[in-house]
Amino acid sequence: MSVRYPAAALTEFATALLHRAGLDADMAATVAAILIEGDLLGHTTHGLQLLAPYLGEIERGTMTRSGEPRVLADFPAAITWDGLRLPGPWLTVRALELAAARAKQNGTCTVVIRRSHHIACLAAYLKRVTDQGLMVLLTCSDPTVAGVAPHGGRRNVYTPNPLAAGWPTDGDPVLLDISMSITTLGLARRLLDEGGKFPGPWGVDAAGHPTDDPARVLADPPGALLPMGGLDHGHKGYALGLLVEALTGGLAGYGRADPKEGWGATVFMQVLEPALFGGRDDFIRQTSHLAAACRATPPRPGFERVRLPGETALRRRADQLAHGVALYPGIMAALNPWSGKLGVPLPR
């Protein structure tokens, strides 16, 4: 039986570590809450597993500890920030709050952020917006990292470029968070550390040969992850990956064409208020009808029933809030040295 930790205890622990490391108290609390939300939803490579690397970035001075983003453009429904390498979760939460407030006035609001630090799990932000009856699109890229090959290529060019979205229904919201690559760099590194393999040929080695071995993908010289769709239909994930680059680096005016600054993110988010389009009641009527139709579809062999995107994650979240968070093995061991260094006791 895996050890479970109360979510509140993990949040308090992560907040204390980040604050002792040097983040402002408000920033530390926001970053901790987003990391814990990632674990609650089951995104174990993008929850507390990121805390130790974040603490290392703070210690090295490659994550800015305090301050405010610089406003580069501000129109009623279009805002651009220079994040100045401030903590990504804090910047993203602040930007979503601004976008939601503007969307309630204008119908929609888009915020793009250049030079943010890493923003963790995209799904962790969605419920904050859908709980207000709003729809949200969120995506990011990291202009300093390359891990995915364009379809037909053997060199890594861009990041997995996740795309997340959420919208309300008359029940639980629909929540999606998918990478434009067949898997993530975080999972590839975890499998490499554990001596594991991909379930199939999810990457190519440096010579361009398909492989299920993350060691060959992350070798020197490196191979690459395949776009979503894999060997046969990777042109689809490749095209969507380029779309994400245009929404992030393109609109922010800062990306792969610029000098590398270190681990970070360029972020695009858009919030929409259904009430100022066709009306909130009709929006919910449409989304709920389709959700019910999908759930009512007879399952094919091997499936118990048809689920909606985010349904399993929300069920897992409720269970872990009630019974404790089951952290992925090794996460607490990686945080133990930071616990001693910063004088923050491990959670019970």
Quickly list DSSP for 243-303. HHHIIIIIHHT-STTS---SS-EEEEEEEE-GGGTT-HHHHHHHHHHHHHHHHTSPPPTT-
- Report CA-CA distances (Å) from 186 to 145, 242, 297: 12, 20, 34
How many angstroms separate the CA atoms of 277 and 270, rounded?
A: 15
C-beta separation of 205 from 217 below 8 A: yes
pLDDT per residue as tens digits for the range 48-87 = 999 999 999 999 999 999 999 999 999 999 999 999 999 9
CATH classification of the domain holding 190:
3.30.60.50
Same domain, 46 and 138: no
Same domain, 257 and 337: no
User: Is position 310 within any domain?
Assistant: no
**Which of 259, 278, 296 delimits the end of a domain?**
296
User: Is position 196 within any domain?
Assistant: yes
Same domain, 135 and 246: yes
Same domain, 139 and 11: no
Each residue's pLDDT tens digit in the chain (348 positions)? Answer: 478 999 999 999 999 999 999 999 999 999 999 999 999 999 999 999 999 999 999 999 999 999 999 999 999 999 999 999 999 999 999 999 999 999 999 999 999 999 999 999 999 999 999 999 999 999 999 999 999 999 999 999 999 999 999 999 999 999 999 999 999 998 999 999 999 999 999 999 999 999 999 999 999 999 999 999 999 999 999 999 999 999 999 999 999 999 999 999 999 999 999 999 999 999 999 999 999 999 999 999 999 999 999 999 999 999 999 999 999 999 999 999 999 999 999 998
Same domain, 158 and 263: yes
Same domain, 22 and 132: no
Same domain, 127 and 263: yes
* Predicted pLDDT at 204: 97
User: Is position 317 within any domain?
Assistant: no
Same domain, 218 and 329: no
Percent of the chain with pLDDT over 70: 100
Same domain, 147 and 288: yes
User: Is position 312 within any domain?
Assistant: no
Model pTM greater than 0.85?
A: yes
* Predicted pLDDT at 177: 98
Q: What are phi and psi of 204, to 5 degrees?
A: -130, 150
* Predicted pLDDT at 108: 98
The greatest distance separating any two alpha carbons of the chain, rounded to the nearest whole angstrom, comes to: 55
The tokens describing 34, both together, are: 């987003």
User: Is position 311 within any domain?
Assistant: no
User: Is position 147 within any domain?
Assistant: yes
Same domain, 148 and 110: yes
Q: How many domains does the chain have?
A: 3
* Predicted pLDDT at 1: 44
CATH classification of the domain holding 149:
3.30.1370.60
Which domain does 8 fall in, by range? 1-66+325-348
Same domain, 270 and 290: yes
One-letter amino acid identity for 68? E
* Predicted pLDDT at 200: 96
pLDDT per residue as tens digits for the range 109-134 = 999 999 999 999 999 999 999 999 99
Sheet strand arrangement including 265-272: 70-75, 78-82, 108-116, 265-272, 135-141, 163-167, 174-178
pLDDT per residue as tens digits for the range 151-164 = 999 999 999 999 99
User: Is position 304 within any domain?
Assistant: no
Same domain, 170 and 241: yes
First to last CA, the chain: 16
* Predicted pLDDT at 124: 98
